[in-house]
Structure 1
Amino acid sequence: MPPSSLLESPLSRERRSGPMQRQLHDRLKNAILDGSLAPGSRLPGSRALAEALGISRNTVTATYEHLAAEGYVRPDRQGTRVAELSSPTPSKRERAGKQAGTPATAQRLARILPSAPRADMGAALRPGVPALSHFPLAAWRRSLERAIRGGGCTALGYGDALGEPALRAAIARHLSVARGVRCEPRQVVIAEGAQEAISLCVRLLSNPGETGWVEDPGYRGAKAAMHAGDMRIVPMRVDAEGLCVSERDWRKHPPRLVYTTPSHQYPAGSVLSIARRLELIAQARRHGAWIVEDDYDSEFRHTGEPIVAMQGLVDDAPVLYVGSFSKTMFPSLRLGFLVLPERLVSAVQAPLEEMLRGGHRHEQLAMADFIESGQFSRHLGRMRRLYRDRQQALRLALEKHFEVPHEIDGGHCGMHLTVRLPGRFDDRRIAAEALRQRIAPTPLSGFAMRPMPSDNGLVLGYGNTASELFAPLVTRLSQLARASEPGGV
């Protein structure tokens, strides 16, 4: 028989407590799971339980039937008995062991750790956030409406695993004109942002234990993707000409994958020189390596002509080109793309069709319309002018109000500046204190796997922060920097 409390405690008559049948079901289920109703014990007859609880017999009968369908009880000739179940409640010893140790997860997760606290999208000076208030929502809404009308109910189902043909064709045309990328639509794969595109490169082209080169300091997402693929990561230093690679590096630890941001290194802002680009391509061919070119922020170049992509420099380059609409459109769109070398397409198409499922079809169709209608190019033009003005305003604010020794990197492209500081200023402490005041610079040291004295500073995003706020924000950062010095107040 159930414990007396089950019979003596009436069910609630208040609507917010739920229907009687649900209340009785939950009470019996919990008693079975916590062991109050032992396996094999017999439940009271439906009539007796209904009278004891003051509810209808039909409610009790329906509850017993539901519990039997779920497997908690089993009816027999003598009534309804509690089924034999393993207890989901851990013993005291098991609970103590779990509290004392770390939950069993994949070992690779220990290598994927956040290097800085997360800030919300609205925090000032956060890198990587575009000017969301300047996005042309009305034009985007019209593209979405056309996509919904054109795609209709058909676009609610799964689409082409590699992406909507219309978007792949629009991207191929845009990249050819804007970035000098050589590709056909069949080489374009749509992904959920640049991060998934990088992860696809790792899954398609590397095996556990193989070596991947990453820029140091560099994009943490590339490191996370390689760690998730159980690759051995070798950090490669970056200087004023971009990724530094020597002949000795190729001999000592030849890579399977080389990740680089050649047009606008993140976070230092340098451009990979043409000599290094051509040498990297030549050595990758010689050693059977693949280059993952993340064309980060290349659409927003503020001085001179755009720097063309590595992918289009030479015929049949061993380069996989990665791009995203997170900065050029808005982050929640979650649309990115991967351009495969022609010789890879047939080899990876079947695996990709098994690994991916075509989704976000209306958004993909809307993005294709946004590009083909000319709205995308017009939006990029407006944003280039806005970011150029904001970059200049931030430089002026740093010059006037950042009263600590510093050097500025970048500024020719993108939406951030990197401010390098002497080692006596603790960049992580500055960033943590700033975040408490809704100012969100990222510590430069957090991007480095093997930090050097020069990897100390702040990465300041100006994309989503109005120019008139720079002076007071920089003044406050200057005060926080002073306070981070040994003996600072």
Structure 2
Amino acid sequence: MNTLPRTVTGALLTLLERDGVLPGTLSTRVYRAIRAAILDSTLKAGDRLPSTRTLAADLSISRSTAEAAYAQLEDEGYLTRGVGSGSYVSADASAGRHARKSRLNAAASPALSKRGTQIASMGGCVDARVVRAFSAGMPALESFPVEPWQKLLARHARHDASRWMMYGDQQGLPALREAIAQYLSLSRGVHCDASQVIVLTSSQQALGLIAMLMLDDGDPVWLEEPGYRGAQTAFSGGGASIVPVPVDNEGLRVDEGLRLQPRARLAYVTPSHQYPLGVTLSLARRLQLIEWARQSNAWIVEDDYDSEFHYDSRPVSAIHGLDQHERVLYVGTFSKVLFPGLRLAYLVVPRQMVSAFVTARSQVDGHASPLMQAVLADFMQDGHFMAHVRRMRELYRARRDIFMEEIDRHLRGRLVPLAAQGGMQTSCLLADQRLSDQRLAGIAADVGIDLPRLSRLYLGADKRNGFVMGYSALAPADIREGIRALARIL
């Protein structure tokens, strides 16, 4: 990427002075100045902007003001901010310039439908592509058993290679569906057989299919508050009316859901390890949720995204296994437990719905890679999968312990860790809730630390400031170094 010349800051200052007659806070004016420079091609796609520290010094403003402007530009897609590498004008900036030039024509003849416009405005799901402190949800890739995986891959690629070049089974390779059903029955208490399993490319695809088939415009959907942004994106994109339901130390407040919207069509929950607060949905509330779904003819979407990793107690069985009325749709993924590049996940649905979901899936992307499915089926059937899960459970437990010890040693009184009985990350509240997690995350990014913000996972006005801090992919030395660097920032 190109590095901006020093004269660019002066250009931004000129735009800022020209904007001075317009109302708004100082951060808003800085945001407008940079956006204007992008839209009129003064700044081009790939150009690097000064750090927030440099911009603040050059414009004689506070760093928090510069960070707020950059954060808004990033949220709207004008900037791409790489942790440790700087802030760049987004590759999509040219589309923004084109949109500005054709605003009048677009107003007369919109390019997108109302739903399309809504989906685009919500932003996409962005996953970390490199391992750094403290990116959330990243597996320890260096500990993956590459050798047995490569042997299985070579064996399938070598024998009857043409078989893997054809279109695959839209529901998924039968051998893999059998392996998944057996695993879920033995390890998660899910009552299903292979005929109910649909192999997909991601859990996000599963949520999209559920929204497509189960929701009509305006249907109310309970979402955990705070909760997974991908679920909000999927269900809002499907036309649903989102009802944020608060989470406490027993999980989703079912009583609050009933008070807020008793006739919801669907409830989305992460009961084994709530994302992002880490609590487990209590048995009483699981039964209450099932009874609500039965009486209301509603549905429960159970996202079991990292249930393999419980450290201080035995894993709790899935809601699916308690449900006697077939009101639960169960979602799982291999991205966390194996590796994200595999692009394989699964959805378990009631028998009477299988045909409709497979048909809908055929309209989305047809099928997942037959070769990767065959390799994974053998990987599970040969015992490699469960052996890997056991190894990772011990590894992540050790890294969790180091993370908590370092937080206590260096950040006691400044960060308050929440439930950490399992998973690959722990949410930590800022002890001083007057501090902005957005501002601190921006400062941390300048020194190469990724701090996923907790506040952005709330839909309502009552937000808590903090970070969703991942540790599973970090070596002990990296955890210690990251915590010490964070202590200096805080």
Q: State the TM bucket, normalised to the shorter chain.
A: 0.7 to 0.9
User: 1:432 offset after TM fit, Å?
Assistant: 1.7
Residue aligning to 1:416: 425
Which segments of 5 or more consecutive residues in structure 2 lack a partner in the other structure? Answer: 1-97
Structure 1 residue 250: deviation in Å?
5.8
CA distance in 2: counterparts of 1:94 and 1:205, whole angstroms: 34
Partner residue, 2:454: 444
Indicate the residue corresponding to 1:374 in structure 2: 383
Deviations 1:36-70 (A, max 9, x none): xxxxxxxxxxxxxxxxxxxxxxxxxxxxxxxxxxx
Q: Judging changes above 3 Å, is the alpha-carbon distance between structure 1 residues 160 and 168 closer, same or farther for their aligned structure 2 residues?
A: same
Following superposition of structure 1 onto structure 2, how do residues 257-272 of structure 1 map, counting pairs within 5 Å?
257-272=266-281
- Whether the aligned pair in 1 keeps the contact of 2:245 and 2:257 (CA below 8 Å) is no
Where does structure 1 differ by over 6 angstroms across 4 or more consecutive aligned residues?
99-103
The answer (yes or no) to whether the contact 1:316–1:342 under 8 Å persists in 2 is no
1:286-325 deviation digits (Å, cap 9, x = unpaired): 1111111000210011112111110011323300000000
Cα drift, residue 255 of structure 1: 1.5
* TM-superposition CA deviations, 1:392-433 (whole Å, max 9, x none): 000000000115433211211111111111312211111122
Deviation at 1:237, TM superposition (A): 0.8
- Which position in structure 1 is the counterpart of 2:476? 467
Q: Secondary structure at the match of 1:442?
A: coil
Distance between the aligned counterparts of 1:402 and 1:124, measured in 2?
A: 15
Q: Does 1:193 align with 2:212?
A: no
**Shift of the alpha carbon at 1:344?**
2.3
**Equivalent position of 1:225 in the other structure:** 234
- 1:328-477 correspondence to structure 2 within 5 Å: 328-421=337-430, 422-453=432-463, 455-477=464-486
Question: Is 2:309 aligned against 1:319?
Answer: no
Instruction: Tell me the amino acid that sits aligned with residue 207 of structure 1.
Output: D
Q: What is the aligned counterpart of 1:276 among 270, 275, 285?
A: 285
Q: Is the 8 A contact 1:445 1:451 kept in 2?
A: no
Instruction: Tell me: CA distance 1:382–1:451, structure 2 relative to 1, closer, same or farther (3 Å).
Output: farther
The Cα of 1:463 is off from its aligned counterpart by 1.2
**Aligned equivalents of 1:188, 1:112: Cα separation in 2:** 30
Q: Classify the secondary structure of the residue corresponding to 1:215.
A: strand
User: Which one of 161, 182, 185 corresponds to residue 191 of structure 2?
Assistant: 182
Q: Which residue is equivalent to 1:156?
A: 165
Contact 1:264/1:297, CA 8 A, preserved across alignment:
yes
Provide the C-alpha distance between the structure 2 equivalents of 1:94 and 1:386, rounded to a whole number of angstroms: 49
Contact conserved, 2:308 with 2:337, CA < 8 A, in 1?
yes
User: Secondary structure of 1:233's match?
Assistant: strand
**Contact 1:172/1:188 (8 A) holds in 2:** yes
The answer (yes or no) to whether the contact 2:200–2:368 under 8 Å persists in 1 is no
Give the superposition deviation at 1:480: 2.1
Identify the residue that residue 256 of structure 1 maps to in structure 2: 265
1:94 CA displacement:
10
One-letter amino acid of the counterpart of residue 176, structure 1:
S
Report the Cα offset of residue 252 of structure 1. 3.5
3-state DSSP class of the match of 1:230? coil
Distance 1:104 1:480 in 2: 45
For residue 212 of structure 2, the aligned residue among 187, 197, 203 is 203
The share of aligned pairs that are identical, in percent, is 39
Distance 1:283 1:111, change over 3 A: farther
Q: 2:299 aligns with which of 287, 290, 296?
A: 290
1:111 Cα deviation after fit: 4.5
Tell which deviates more after alignment, 312-321 or 343-352: 343-352
Shift of the 100–441 alpha-carbon distance from structure 1 to 2, 3 Å rule, reads: farther
Query: Which amino acid letter does the alignment assign opposite residue 316 of structure 1?
Result: H
Deviation of 1:260 after TM superposition, in Å, equals 0.5
Q: 1:107 aligns with which of 114, 117, 137?
A: 117
* Amino acid in the other structure paired with 1:98: R
Equivalent pair of 1:255/1:289 in contact (CA under 8 Å) = yes
For the 8 Å contact 1:189–1:338, the answer to whether it is kept is yes
Deviation at 1:355?
A: 4.5
Aligned partner letter, 2:270: T
- Partners of 2:326 and 2:177 in 1: how far apart? 20
- C-alpha separation in 2, matches of 1:372 and 1:313: 26
**1:99 offset after TM fit, Å?**
9.0
Deviation string 1:78-131 (CA, Å, 9 cap, x unpaired) is xxxxxxxxxxxxxxx99744399898432213541369x875422221001000
Structure-2 separation of matches of 1:121 and 1:480: 22
Q: Which residue of 2 aligns with 1:478?
A: 487
Per-residue CA deviation, residues 138-183 of structure 1 (Å, 9 max, x unaligned), is: 1111121232245521221111101111111110011111111110
Query: Could you tell me which residue of structure 1 aligns to residue 144 of structure 2?
Result: 135
Higher mean C-alpha deviation, range 145-154 or range 374-383 = 145-154
SS at match of 1:443: coil
CA distance in 1, matches of 2:99, 2:373: 49
Instruction: Check whether the contact 1:265–1:296 (CA below 8 A) recurs between aligned residues.
Output: no
Q: In the superposition, relative to structure 1, how do residues 145 and 211 fare at CA in structure 2: closer, same or farther (>3 Å)?
A: same
Gaps in structure 1 of 5+ consecutive residues: 1-92, 482-489
Match of 2:19 in 1: none
